[in-house]
């Protein structure tokens, strides 16, 4: 099989790479990390330019509700470019909630929420609510570790039986941000006290779409971050001189870079395979998603660790961006299922098919 981007996809990839390179700078990311309250870990100016000026928030949403009507492959291209710069914005929530409403929401729910998500006016987050109590359309309970939960306007909650949409701007909602390892994607605790919630028309379809989008978004972010870690390390290897030679000329150094490149190319294939499988409705989509999330997360973690080590002493400092990549890589490994869990799902799917 020969895979190639269409002209439109190549243009999207070029556009988002240029946008994040210009706007998601280290200085702006660090400023977002220092912010407090709802803006903690959130570059709102970056989000506004991303969503309103370029219209990129609607890439994976239906056209008749304000989106661009494109597929999840285009969403993956956006996530890859954002991950390459550790962008401090709630892309994961947008991907999960937007795709969930598009797949399982009623016509009224789509009309009410999708336009706001597509233009960036509505910030979304997703969570699992095993401890929530539902009674008469009201939800009560505590949700932990909600990505960008402190900034969210709408929350998608899956209780095991139903998928609910919760407007976080009303009464009975208390969101508390926490200082977490990855400050570019802060986690919040959200306490709901008899808050009105609306069940999605098809909760099963909604959560399947949310998980698919979440896994692919994280895998694509990991791919972009791993590639950036390699690119920055290669650039440093050409500039840093020891014993009268660029350090990149030493064999041991080159071997580490080669290992990173090989893993990244496999991760790239995994992301595009999963994205194409979803867009084409392939029976392999679930298998591909689990494989992509596990492999890309592990690859990013390895590349970010090598980035720190191959930069030597400066790589361990707060002033260098290497730690931003490592922290994002570590958080991706544990979000929406760790790599071991995803590999177990791959094994079950393969062994079940053989049996």
Both tokens of residue 75? 């969403």
Is 283 contained in some domain? yes
With a CB cutoff of 8 Å and minimum separation 6, the contacts of 296 are 218, 219, 220, 222, 223, 226, 267, 270, 271
Torsion on CA atoms 58, 28, 296, 334, rounded to nearest 10: -100
CATH number at residue 304: 1.20.140.10
Query: How remote is the C-alpha of 291 from its chain's centroid?
Result: 16
Is 78 contained in some domain? no
DSSP 123-154: -EEEEE-TT-EEETTEEEEEEEEEETTTT-SE
* Alpha-helical segments (H) within 161-249: 203-239
Range of the domain at 342: 205-354
CA dist 142 and 220 (Å) reads 30
CA dist 95 and 113 (Å) reads 13
> Is 62 in a helix, a strand, or coil?
coil
Is 148 contained in some domain? no
Is 225 contained in some domain? yes
* Domains of the chain: total: 1
Structural contact between residues 221 and 335, judged by C-beta atoms closer than 8 angstroms: no
Is 56 contained in some domain? no
Is 97 contained in some domain? no
pLDDT of residue 22: 96
pLDDT of residue 355: 47
pLDDT of residue 198: 93
Both tokens of residue 165? 């949409």
State if pTM tops 0.85. yes
pLDDT digits 0-9 by tens, 314-351: 888 989 999 999 999 999 999 999 999 999 999 999 99
Q: How many CB atoms lie within 10 A of CB 111?
A: 13
Residue 154: name the closest of 120, 193, 187 by CA: 120
Q: Which residues pair with 196 in a beta bridge?
A: 138
Is 292 contained in some domain? yes
pLDDT digits 0-9 by tens, 34-83: 998 888 899 999 999 999 888 899 999 999 998 988 999 999 999 999 99
Q: Which residues pair with 173 in a beta bridge?
A: 192
Structural contact between residues 166 and 172, judged by C-beta atoms closer than 8 angstroms: no
In the chain the beta strands, taken as DSSP E runs, fall at 124-128, 133-135, 138-147, 154-158, 163-167, 173-177, 187-199, 241-242, 245-246
Residue 96: name the closest of 121, 79, 77 by CA: 79
Is 267 contained in some domain? yes
The region, left, alpha or beta by phi > 0 then psi within -120 to 50, assigned to residue 71 is beta
> pLDDT tens track of the chain, all 355 residues?
567 888 999 999 999 999 999 999 999 999 999 998 888 899 999 999 999 888 899 999 999 998 988 999 999 999 999 999 999 999 999 999 999 999 999 999 999 999 999 999 999 999 988 778 888 889 999 999 999 999 999 999 988 778 999 999 989 999 999 988 999 999 999 999 999 999 999 999 999 999 999 999 999 999 999 999 999 999 988 887 777 787 777 788 899 999 999 999 999 999 999 999 999 999 999 999 999 999 999 999 999 999 999 998 888 898 999 999 999 999 999 999 999 999 999 999 999 865 4
């Amino acid at each position: 099989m020969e895979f190639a981007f269409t002209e439109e996809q190549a243009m999207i990839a070029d556009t988002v790479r240029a946008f994040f390179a210009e706007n998601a700078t280290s200085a702006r990311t660090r400023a977002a990390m220092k912010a407090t309250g709802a803006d903690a870990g959130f570059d709102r100016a970056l989000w506004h330019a991303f969503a309103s000026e370029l219209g990129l928030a609607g890439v994976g949403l239906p056209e008749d509700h304000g989106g661009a009507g494109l597929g999840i492959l285009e969403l993956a291209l956006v996530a890859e470019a954002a991950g390459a710069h550790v962008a401090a914005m709630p892309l994961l929530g947008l991907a999960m909630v937007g795709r969930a409403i598009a797949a399982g929401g009623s016509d009224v729910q789509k009309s009410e929420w999708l336009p706001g998500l597509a233009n960036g006016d509505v910030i979304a987050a997703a969570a699992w609510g095993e401890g929530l109590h539902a009674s008469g359309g009201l939800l009560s309970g505590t949700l932990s570790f909600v990505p960008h939960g402190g900034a969210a306007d709408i929350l998608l909650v899956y209780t095991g039986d139903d998928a609910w949409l919760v407007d976080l701007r009303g009464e009975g909602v208390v969101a508390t941000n926490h200082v977490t390892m990855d400050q570019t994607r802060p986690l919040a605790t959200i306490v709901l006290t008899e808050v009105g919630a609306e069940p999605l028309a098809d909760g099963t379809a909604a959560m399947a779409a949310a998980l698919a989008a979440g896994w692919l978004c994280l895998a694509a972010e990991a791919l972009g971050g791993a590639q950036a870690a390699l690119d920055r390390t290669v650039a440093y290897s050409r500039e840093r001189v020891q014993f009268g030679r660029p350090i990149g000329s030493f064999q041991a150094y080159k071997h580490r870079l080669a290992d990173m490149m090989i893993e990244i190319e496999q991760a790239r294939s995994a992301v595009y395979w999963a994205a194409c499988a979803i867009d084409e409705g392939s029976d392999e989509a679930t298998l591909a998603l689990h494989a992509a999330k596990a492999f890309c997360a592990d690859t990013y973690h390895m590349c970010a660790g090598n980035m720190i080590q191959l930069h030597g002493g400066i790589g361990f400092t707060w002033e260098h961006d290497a730690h931003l990549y490592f922290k994002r890589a570590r958080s991706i490994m544990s979000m929406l299922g760790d790599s071991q869990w995803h590999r177990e799902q791959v094994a079950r799917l393969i062994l079940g098919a053989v049996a």
